[in-house]
Amino acid sequence: MFDELSKAVENASHILILQADNPDGDSLGSALALEAIFTEMNKRVSLACAVDTAPHLKHMSGWDRVQKELPRDVDMSIVVDTSSETLFELYEKDPNFSYVKTKPLFVIDHHVETSGLSYAAAQYNLEAVATGEAIYQIAHELNWPLPLDACEFMAMAIMSDSLGLTTDSTTPKSIRTIADLVEKGVSLAKLENNRRELMRKEPELIDYKGRLLQRVAFDHSGRIASVRIPWAEIERYSPLYNPSMLVIDDMRLTVGVDLAIAYKTYKDGKITAKIRCNYGKPIGSDLAAHFGGGGHPYAAGFKMLEKRNLDELHAEVIKKANELLDNLETSA
């Protein structure tokens, strides 16, 4: 099944691993795992992504080897964790990407319901909870070497996309893959500790979080929790942490709450809203869409293009959320 990929890797001396414009723990872990595998096979490997690596992913050592610039002398490339051309908008404008596309390009992904990349030599869209799991399967079948760092990166990729093996798409095979990786020497405790070290917050953020929590307002009989973050606080605390992310999960995890909303007012007076819904109340994307935004059923957001009074806007949000929650309950 992976013949074409196997032959291309065998014949290549310089391999490029590409992440799309929305890098996450799975794509970075997968890229670093392939780098470790191919390095072990005495290949030269380059990593590229048009977007900066997010701060919360920097517990994966090697993240700083991911470059924005595309190399001009590769023999082949592998795109990890995406098969959508719209997610390569930034590189589409880069003349070096046209060069990359003249060489065999492979896709390793696990999102089965996508259109694919028209210029790919072959696409491997495996049924797996993460691209990390797909890579393990391919490496196993092709007898690629699996050094310990490759195993650690695959485990991090799988744990990241499966939220610690708790998502709906986690299968017995995903869990067996993790078991295999642990057998090969991966310490999940060590990986989790590295991740948590990076999540530590500055002491002043603890004080700020306390103040934010005191300002959480409850509407609609306590079913909607909201908080407002003014520009002065965005300016002061954003370099340390995203203020809404400090409290939105505590708000969502309050007994009786169906959805949590964090509003931010920017310097120009424009308002954004981040929406998080609880399990069984998937109204996030519909609510956001009503205000010109979008997202997923449980995580969505919008940005008001014109200046609005926040009290009035909030009243409209409550009204619409109320309506959507009512519809949900009558249709259930």
Task: Note the residues at the interface with Mn ion (CB under 5 A).
Answer: 26, 81, 131, 161
In the complex, the smallest distance separating the C-beta of residue 154 from Mn ion, rounded to whole angstroms, is 12
In the complex, the smallest distance separating the C-beta of residue 167 from Mn ion, rounded to whole angstroms, is 11
In the complex, the smallest distance separating the C-beta of residue 111 from Mn ion, rounded to whole angstroms, is 7
Closer of 159 and 186 to Mn ion (Cβ): 159
Closer of 159 and 224 to Mn ion (Cβ): 159
Handedness of CA 213, 248, 317, 258 (dihedral sign): negative
Q: CB of 40 within 8 A of CB of 177?
A: no
In the complex, the smallest distance separating the C-beta of residue 161 from Mn ion, rounded to whole angstroms, is 4
What's 53's DSSP letter? P
CA distance 190 to 148: 13
CA distance 155 to 258: 33
Closer of 20 and 317 to Mn ion (Cβ): 20
Angle of CA points 104, 110, 111, to nearest 5°? 105
Closer of 39 and 84 to Mn ion (Cβ): 84
Q: In Å, what is the CA distance from 11 to each residue of 38, 224, 306?
A: 12, 58, 56
| DSSP reduced 3-state for 224 | strand
In the complex, the smallest distance separating the C-beta of residue 132 from Mn ion, rounded to whole angstroms, is 8
Closer of 165 and 318 to Mn ion (Cβ): 165
Closer of 158 and 262 to Mn ion (Cβ): 158
Which residues, in sequence order, are bridge partners of residue 261?
226, 275
CA distance 269 to 314: 15
> Which residue's Cβ has the minimum distance to Mn ion?
26
Question: Could you tell me which residues come within 8 angstroms of residue 199 by beta carbon, excluding any fewer than 6 positions away?
Answer: 56
